[in-house]
Structure formats: structure tokens, C-alpha cells
Amino acid sequence: MTNRETLERFLQTDPRDVGCGEAIAVLHVYVDLIAAGRDAADRYPGVAAHLAACGPCGDDFAGLLAAVTSEQAEG
Amino acid sequence: MAAPPGYHDAVQLARSATRELDEESASWLRRLASAASAERQAAERELHNRLLRIALTEVRRRSASTQVTGPELDDVAHQAAGDAMLAILAKLTEFRGDSRFITWAYRFVILEVSSKLGRHYWRNPPVALDAAQWERFPDRLGLDPHQHAEAAGILAEVRHVVDTELTDHQRQIFVAIVVDGIPLTALAEKLGLQRNAIYKVIFDARRKIRRALVAKGYLDEPGAGQR
């Protein structure tokens, strides 16, 4: 990747991005869909766009998904 | 923990307004709102134990990105579980069954861990709020140092736009997050702002910088490369 492409990627914003507030408000619903094997990103594309772009919300998502799936794995 | 007057009725009302719950979620709600204190307290203990287990796992998962270590990390987990428990009980009537109850409850403890670790950042911050370490920006951005001249050009262009096009508020937040690498949650705690407010500033700043660089002919128009 060239430096200009790196800069392009850094400056990229997704107009579907719903922001932290809306993403966190439905995070539990989003995670349950994934845990159930459903396509959460298809149902909530704006949330998917946000979680991909926002480090802290992405981290919260990863933590909640890990919590739920680890319990599923334990049965 | 004693339930406030009218609490059980409120939970029952909320339950009637929710969609049909799975068996486990319905059981949690019934037991946590039980008028029988022994049943309610047993449910609260069980929920707290589960929140604490999740909090302990979560602080360890995040340990690489925090300076909090050892027993203090466990303290954060215990505080997060306790605060999450209080929030869950206070908001029990707001649960609408959009997800499983336990997933809804775990969200509280994950967010508590995130917020508490963000607050700890400022006890011994690796960088001051207004450090403006522009010399580290190419590394943070992931620019290839072998293309030194181009990297220096990009740095100069972006810095010029930040200095001349952003508002003071935008500049302060952009520099703190992007240039100095202060975690967004930590900055939100420091400035007393919602995380979303910080994110929106960075989002808008990126668009503004991009527009300015396109206007200067430094970057292509959006979509130009796909034609």
C-alpha cells in the first residue's frame, strides 16, 4: 500500500456510520444476533460500519461477544 | 438489596409490554423482581457472580492496553461488577426483551470496565493532553518510512489543514486522539464529554481534512479511482 493509499484509508468515513450512542444502545441485540448465527451487519449496517471504524466501541463489542460466546461454548 | 415501593408492579408492567421472552430471560426477570426476598437475593447473588466473572475476564482481555495491573485490575473488575449490578437493578423495568436478558446485563459490565479503565489512564498518562507529537504522526498513521519524502509531504499537508481549517475544539481533539494517540475513552473522561461527541469531532475532522486535500489536488475526488 502506498502512503497516499494509507492516508486515503485513514480519512475514509462511512456515511452509514450511526455513531457511538446508537451503536451502544443496540450492542446487546447485535451480539445476540451474531451468537445465534444471524447476519447482524445485514440488519444493522450502520452499526456494523460504526463498530468497524470506532476503536472503543469495537472493543466493547469484542468484549461482549467474547462474554456471550464463551458461555455458549461452556454450555 | 431492598426493592423500592411499587417496584414489583413496575417490572410486571414492563414485562407485559415486552415481546415474548425466552425461558431464561423470563426466569431472571421473575426472580430479580420477586416479592419473596430470599428468591430475589439469591438471583441478585447469582447475577453478581456472573457479572464479576465477566468483568475479571474483560479486564484481563484489555490488560495489554492499560497501565493498570495486578490486584488493581481485579479491583476495577469488582467495582465494575458492583456498579453494573446497581445500574441493572435500577433499569430492570427498561428491559424490553430485544435480546436475551443476560446479554443485556453483560453490556452494562463491559461498558463499566471500559469507562473505569479510561479513567485510570490519567493517573499516570504516557503523554500530556496537549503534547502535539506531530513527529510521531507518520508512525501512528502507518506511513512507509522508506518513502520518506512522500511521508514528510503528507505530514506537512495534513498538519497545515489541521492548523488552518479545523476549529480550536476540533484541533484539540484531533491532535489528542490521532497525533498523540490518547485513547478516545480516556479523553472523553478527561474532558467530561460523551464518547460519541469525541467520535463525531474526529469523524467530521476526517471529512474536512479530506475535502481540503482533494481541493488542493493532493487526493482524488471520492470515487475517482473506481471509475
Q: What is the CATH classification number for the domain harbouring B60?
A: 1.10.1740
For residue B8, what is its C-alpha cell? 414489583
Q: Is residue B28 part of a domain?
A: yes
Residue-wise pLDDT tens digits, B21-73: 999 999 999 999 999 999 999 999 999 999 999 999 999 999 998 888 899 99
Query: Rounded to whole angstroms, what are the CA distances from B186 to B54, B79, B103, B139, B173?
Result: 22, 18, 25, 21, 12
Pick the last residue of a domain from B97, B123, B149.
B123
pLDDT of residue B147: 76
Query: Considering only CB atoms, which chain B residues are within 8 Å of A26?
Result: 98
Helix axes A55-74, A45-53, angle to 10 degrees: 110
pLDDT of residue A42: 97
Q: Tell me the nearest-neighbour CA distance from B154 into chain A, angstroms.
A: 8
CB of B143 less than 8 A from some CB of A: yes
User: Are both B38 and B112 inside the same structural domain?
Assistant: yes
Q: Which domain holds residue B102?
A: 7-123
Q: State which residue of chain A sits closest to B137, comparing Cα positions.
A: A7
Report pTM: 0.85
Q: Is residue B150 part of a domain?
A: yes
* Residue B80 to residue B66: CA distance in whole angstroms: 16
For residue B119, what is its C-alpha cell? 479513567
**Cross-chain Cβ contact A10/B141 below 8 Å:** yes
* Per-residue pLDDT at B3 exceeds 80: no
* Per-residue pLDDT at B18 exceeds 70: no
* Residue B144 to residue A44: CA distance in whole angstroms: 35
Give the ranges where chain A is alpha helix by DSSP (H): 3-11, 19-25, 27-35, 40-43, 45-53, 55-74
User: Are both B117 and B75 inside the same structural domain?
Assistant: yes
pLDDT of residue B15: 54
**Cross-chain Cβ contact A60/B203 below 8 Å:** no
Confidence of residue B227 (pLDDT cuts 50, 70, 90): very low
**Cross-chain Cβ contact A60/B111 below 8 Å:** yes
User: Are both B67 and B164 inside the same structural domain?
Assistant: no
> Which has more confidence, B216 or B166?
B166
User: Are both B85 and B157 inside the same structural domain?
Assistant: no
Radius of gyration for chain A, computed over Cα atoms and rounded to the nearest angstrom: 14
CB of A47 less than 8 A from some CB of B: no
Contact criterion met (CB below 8 Å) for A54 and B199: yes
CB of A67 less than 8 A from some CB of B: yes
Provide the residue ranges of all domains of chain A, joining segments of one domain with +.
Answer: 3-74
Q: Is residue B80 part of a domain?
A: yes
> Which has more confidence, A3 or B37?
B37
Q: Is residue B128 part of a domain?
A: no
User: Are both B158 and B222 inside the same structural domain?
Assistant: yes
For residue A21, what is its C-alpha cell? 450512542
In 3-state terms, what secondary structure has residue B62?
A: coil
ipTM: 0.93
CB of B26 less than 8 A from some CB of A: no
Pick the last residue of a domain from B55, B88, B123.
B123
Q: Is residue B185 part of a domain?
A: yes
User: Are both B83 and B152 inside the same structural domain?
Assistant: no
Of A11, A63, A67, the CB nearest to B210: A11
Query: Considering only CB atoms, which chain B residues are within 8 Å of A67?
Result: 54, 57-58, 106, 110
Q: Tell me the nearest-neighbour CA distance from B22 into chain A, angstroms.
A: 13
Pick the last residue of a domain from B123, B145, B177.
B123
* Residue B199 to residue A8: CA distance in whole angstroms: 19
CB of A15 less than 8 A from some CB of B: no
Residue-wise pLDDT tens digits, B102-127: 999 999 999 999 999 988 888 888 88
Backbone φ and ψ of B68, nearest 5°? -75, 130
**Cross-chain Cβ contact B57/A66 below 8 Å:** yes
Q: What is the CATH number of the domain that holds B213?
A: 1.10.10
CA A30 from chain center: how many Å?
Answer: 8
User: Are both B93 and B11 inside the same structural domain?
Assistant: yes
User: Are both B76 and B19 inside the same structural domain?
Assistant: yes
| Domain count for chain B | 2
Give the ranges where chain B is alpha helix by DSSP (H): 7-17, 23-32, 37-61, 70-90, 101-120, 137-141, 148-165, 168-174, 184-191, 195-215
User: Are both B11 and B116 inside the same structural domain?
Assistant: yes
Q: What percent of chain B has pLDDT over 70?
A: 89
